Amino acid sequence: MPKSGLKHIDVGPELTKTEWESEESHEVVHGTSFPSSPIERQLFYRDDEHKWYIYSGSAWVWLGGGGGGGMAVHGNEYHDPDFATEAALASHATAATGIHGVGASTVESASGSQSKVDTHAAATTGVHGVGSAYIAKSSADGLDLADHDSRHGYLGADELPVLYLNAQRAIPVIHKHFGDLGGLTEGHSGGSLVLGIVYGTLRSGSTTNNYGRVYMSQPCYHAYASYGHTLGIKISIRQSTQQDMWLGWFESTTPGTNQNHYAFRITNNNLYAYAGKSDTYKENSGSLATWSGARDFFLSVRDSSDAIKFYVEHTLAYSVTNSANRPTGVQLYLVFYLKTTEASNKDCFLCPFTLFTAHNH
């Protein structure tokens, strides 16, 4: 098979000039299928395709051409890697979800994108993963201004000045430090209260079940229908085990859960919140904090008509909302109590404290 793509008609042993130049003496090598056993640079014309091909040594390659010159439409035989097919590109263009391997929202349909934007715009809570308070309703109800005022007014975070509280609530305000025991009574059993200029050290004593105790000399009436007792105090626990400590309001001067009460309890590395009306109606928070060794706390507790709220380090830690478990219509004593449950003294530093309370007149 000639490489030129032309073959000569047999004209006998002699080829004259006339015969050479005659169109009838030559014929294009052609057909509707490629010849077998081609060699590199061999030409062939496909009658069914109307195209010239050349053999590259491994494949028949179309020579192109295409009337106006330049590159004509061709397939992936010239591309490495292959281009996507027309069908694949059409499928990509109409895809409604991601197809690039980086998440379903990477390629989004117009309607799908608009739907997400509309949902985001209408959101009334956080949608950026940083908490619901970051995107809030614009109304006063949505911002909960009443709760905000409550946090300020009762020793929650960011307290407001005492003068504001006194003017707004018309409730006696008491600031007390342990350089002055006026209005307080000591009732120890082996324990003691060592007075400092501003703080006191409550000690249990060194015999098992001994205790130190300080309480209000006169009880305060529990003004449940208005604003009840509120206590705020910083304490410093010096030992973490084998002790039982109460800070709060009790119907008697000896703390316990079988009476009207609400108070913090600190025992064996754990801080709890307790409230109750009797031995039957009561509840506790479960541990609010655990630690080892010494620990400082700012603790506050507030009672009002809707709940008893316990704050630890100015943050609301527990609420008693069940009215059956909250004291009503009784007089309560403020009690500080520290007992040892081993033959070793326990200490607690009591810093100055603040009370807002309705007194019995």
**Contact (CB, 8 A) for 283 and 322:** yes
Residue 244, pLDDT score: 95
pTM of the predicted model over 0.75: no
Confidence bin at 226 (pLDDT 50/70/90): very low
Phi first, then psi, for residue 93 (nearest 5°) are -65, -30
Cα(234)–Cα(337) distance, rounded to whole angstroms?
Answer: 15
Report cis status (omega within 30 of 0) of the bond before 13: no
Q: Which residue is listed with tokens 């006169």?
A: 218
Tallying the residues shown for the chain, one arrives at 361
Residue 155: partners with Cβ closer than 8 Å, 6 or more residues away: 230, 232, 300, 302, 311, 314, 354
Residue 196 predicted with pLDDT over 70 = yes
Rounded to the nearest angstrom, the gap between the alpha carbon of residue 114 and the centroid of all alpha carbons in its chain is 27
Amino acid letter, residue 323: S
Q: Which residue is listed with tokens 């970051």?
A: 134
Cα(249)–Cα(336) distance, rounded to whole angstroms?
Answer: 9
Measure the N-to-C terminal CA separation of the chain; round to a whole number of Å.
128
Residue 263, pLDDT score: 94
- 24-38, 86-100, 111-125, 155-169, range with greatest mean pLDDT: 24-38
Cα(155)–Cα(356) distance, rounded to whole angstroms?
Answer: 10
Residue 78, pLDDT score: 63
Residue 23, pLDDT score: 65
Residue 12 predicted with pLDDT over 80 = no
Q: Could you tell me the residue ranges of all domains in the chain?
A: 6-78, 165-356
Q: Could you read off the pLDDT of 274-326 as tens digits, one per residue?
A: 999 888 899 999 999 999 989 999 999 887 778 899 999 989 999 999 989 98
Cα(170)–Cα(358) distance, rounded to whole angstroms?
Answer: 9
Please tell me the least confidently modeled range out of 137-146, 251-260, 301-310: 137-146
Residue 222, pLDDT score: 59
Residue 163, pLDDT score: 46
**Contact (CB, 8 A) for 258 and 279:** yes
Residue 238 predicted with pLDDT over 60 = yes
User: Looking at the domain 165-356, which fold is it?
Assistant: Jelly Rolls (2.60.120)
- Percent of the chain past pLDDT 70, that is, above it, reads 66
Cα(329)–Cα(259) distance, rounded to whole angstroms?
Answer: 13
Alpha-carbon dihedral 62, 68, 70, 72, rounded to 10 degrees: -50
Element holding 87 (H helix, E strand): helix 86-93
Confidence bin at 138 (pLDDT 50/70/90): very low
Residue 167 or residue 87, greater confidence: 87
Residue 287 or residue 171, greater confidence: 287
Share in percent of the chain as helix, strand, coil (round to 5) = 15, 35, 50
Q: Does residue 132 sit in helix, strand or coil?
A: helix
